[in-house]
């Protein structure tokens, strides 16, 4: 924000407040969206993260756009993490506390890894916009994993439904 956008250091706490406001807004909209569709909400959240990071990388020199991107990163991040957490709890069966703890551990690891990778690309001389581009690339990987998980779950549901219609037991290996 200070190097590319040119904002003075004294404004940075307000930029961080915008991120917090975005997270709060994201949390507020996540509930109704997740109630409609957990998977669509997660896909919307991670896709939005990638798009906002690309816009930030392209237009970081425009202060209003950069600050708006920070706010939108908070919104999209909260939407994605809320949907992912709800999806995980839905799938966790008898161990929701363990699943929630592992999810938080994974997010903490991802935050640390993101900071390290961001420092690596900046240290490699790729510039201060490069962490946003790296983040956008990582969201593509996350999106691919999420799509795979959604497709796999839908196939399992369809298979389970077909077995039930045919009167087969749920754990049947019938082809």
- As a three-state string, the secondary structure of the chain is CCCCCCCCHHHHHHHHHHHHHHHHHHHHHHHHHHHHCHHHHHHHHHHHHHHHHHHHHHHCCCHHHHHHHHHHHHHHHHHHHHHHHHHHHHHCCCCHHHHHHHHHHHHHHHHHHHHHHHHHHHHHHHCCCHHHHHHHHHHHHHHHHHHHHHHHHHHHHHHHHHHHHCCCCCCCCCC
**Architecture per CATH, 9-165:** Up-down Bundle (1.20)
In 23-55, which positions are buried (b, 16+ CB within 10 angstroms) versus exposed (e)? bebbeeebeebbeeebbebbbbbbbbbbebbbb
φ, ψ for residue 142, nearest 5 deg: -60, -40
pTM (predicted TM-score): 0.85
The domain segmentation of the chain, as residue ranges, is 9-165
* CB-based contact 25:73 (threshold 8 Å): no
In this prediction, residue 27 carries a pLDDT of 96
In this prediction, residue 169 carries a pLDDT of 62
Cα dist from 101 to 11, 30, 95, 98, 174, whole Å: 35, 20, 10, 5, 36
Locate tokens 């969206």: which residue? 33
Q: What distance in Å separates the CA atoms of residue 85 and residue 169, rounded to the nearest whole number?
A: 30
Q: What distance in Å separates the CA atoms of residue 133 and residue 156, rounded to the nearest whole number?
A: 35
pLDDT tens track, the chain, 175 positions: 999 999 999 999 999 999 999 999 999 999 999 999 999 999 999 999 999 999 999 999 999 999 999 999 999 999 999 999 999 998 888 888 998 899 899 999 999 999 999 999 999 999 999 999 999 999 999 999 999 999 998 888 887 776 766 776 655 444 4
């Amino acid at each position: 924000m200070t190097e590319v956008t040119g904002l003075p250091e004294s404004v940075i706490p307000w930029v961080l407040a915008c991120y917090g406001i975005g997270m709060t807004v994201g949390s507020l909209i996540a509930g109704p969206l997740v109630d409609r569709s957990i998977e669509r909400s997660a896909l919307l959240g991670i896709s939005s993260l990638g798009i906002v990071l690309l816009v930030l990388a392209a237009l970081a020199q425009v202060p209003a756009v950069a600050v708006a991107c920070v706010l939108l990163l908070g919104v999209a991040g909260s939407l994605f993490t809320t949907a992912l957490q709800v999806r995980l709890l839905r799938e966790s069966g008898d161990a929701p506390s363990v699943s929630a703890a592992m999810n938080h551990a994974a997010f903490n690891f991802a935050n640390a890894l993101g900071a390290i990778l961001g420092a690596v690309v900046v240290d490699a001389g790729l510039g201060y916009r490069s962490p946003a581009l790296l983040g956008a690339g990582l969201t593509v990987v996350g999106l691919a994993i999420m799509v795979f998980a959604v497709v796999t779950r839908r196939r399992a549901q369809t298979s389970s439904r077909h077995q039930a219609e045919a009167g087969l037991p749920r754990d049947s290996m019938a082809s």
